A and B are shown apart, each in its own frame.
Chain A
Amino acid sequence: MKLRMLLGALFAVTAALSAYAQNGDAKPVDATIAELEGKVSVKRAAEEAWAAGAKDMKLPEDSEIATSVKSGATLLSTEDVTIVVKSSSLVKLTRSALTEQASATKLDLKYGVLEVDVKRTTGRANLLSIRAPNATTSISGTTVIIFALGRPMTDLMQVPAHALVMFKDGEGLVARDEDSIVIVVGEKEALMQLATLPVDNLLALAGTTEMPYLGMVDYESGTVVDGLIVGDILTMGEPYAGLVPGSSTNPNPVILNQQAGSILPGPPPPPPTP
């Protein structure tokens, strides 16, 4: 009987470890309410009712947070990611996970305004995905502000749909798939480290299936400058050494503007013609 129980337990542990490994070794982490102002309500995952939010409250994946007028909350998702939920907003934390090399945070902004700042303190590359209806976006450095205020204001900057945007100076990149904005922020080394992860692990971590387009953004003004690469960043082979080739999304990426791709190690410049 004892042997049966032992075998059962062993089987359960093996199955759990197998599932863990299949998920790219991504470990879910709870977000923490670091600061709170005014009236903030929270619906933790697997709970039916909304309750008043409190400082230091832990929010697991699939929790929601709503703020009223003249209210706000600051969440710490992973060590590097700070999310400021502005007043009159509703956000769902759909993903908060990390591996040794990278972290992933996914947010679903139903309405309101969200300000996300990604610091680079741990050396990890950070993937951030924000889904929002009619969103307009403002990017300054590593801070991204998403406005979901009903109709978009025409004089706010619009990040075009289906664009993967990269900061010019190589400090980060912003990607957008069909219905969300994926932002990857990190130093060159961290990005390269991220790029060496197996594709499936990375996508499992990010919770996305593909990263279809890549473009450039002017780091200073935050405006989109130029299309860079059409295809999956992770499928780029030589001359982008270190990136893992092979993906079902686009095996043959088209590089539109190699010159602009200075964020990643590019081909050596051609010798000057005499």
Chain B
Amino acid sequence: MKTLTLLPLLALAACGFVETAPAPATPPPPPPPPIEVDWQDPTAETTWMMSLESKPVATYEDGLRAVALLVDRDLASQPWTTVKGRLMQRSVVPAEWNFLPDSPLTKGQLAYVLTQALAIDGGIMMNVLGPTRRYAFRECQQNGLVVGNYQQEAVSGKDLLASLYKAEVYQTDGNLDSLRRP
């Protein structure tokens, strides 16, 4: 009788309907150790960029140092508090931003600092309401400086590198036409 009761179960197991114990999964490879940047080293800027390439999420500090490279190269190698303070003095960063340096950089934050650093006026809403992350992001999304859909999204290291290159082109040409198909 017991055997009869178990038969359907055995048949289901044979067909794969009954969950069997999963095969032991191989552990994922450990992530590469973070690249330490000594900002006094002559190769620090390129080392920092290489560290960005492997970062799934760039930090707020990365974003501000990137903008510092655009507005004042020497500033980028200064200590974090100096970088942040000088950018606040230049109104590139609002005085009320007290984000931790290792907090994730959002696309809204990046767009805001880029529009301020590159003196991008923006559209009607940005002019009427003043610069905000929301409208700065829309402006940068439209002109191609920042990619993505939401200003709350985190910026990956590769996206930050791409934005940095485009921002440099924008700074020189006033637009990104040279990156587009003729």
Contact = CB atoms under 8 A, between A and B. Distances in A.
Given A150-B156, A155-B180, A69 B45 contact: yes
Interface residues of A, number: 29
Interface stretch (A107-115, A228-236, A237-245): A107-115
A19 interface: no
Interface string A46-66: 000011100000000000001
Given A86-B165, A87-B165, A153 B179 contact: yes
B166 interface: yes
Contacts, number: 80
A69 B70 contact: yes
A88 B180 CA distance: 18
Contacts of A41: 42-43, 46-47
A74 B15 CA distance: 63
Contact of A39 (B45, B165, B179, B180): B45
B contact residues, range: 20 to 34
A157 interface: yes
Contacts of B126: none
Contacts of A156: 179-181
B62 interface: no
Contacts of A87: 165, 168
Contacts of B57: none
B147 interface: yes
A47 to B, nearest CB: 12
A194 B19 CA distance: 60
B120 interface: no
A156 B46 CA distance: 26
Nearest to A52: B42
Of the listed residues A39, A87, A88, A110, the one surrounded by the most CB atoms of chain B closer than 10 A to its CB is A88
14 contacts: A41-B42, A50-B47, A68-B69, A69-B66, A70-B73, A90-B50, A110-B53, A149-B162, A149-B165, A149-B166, A150-B162, A153-B179, A155-B180, A156-B180
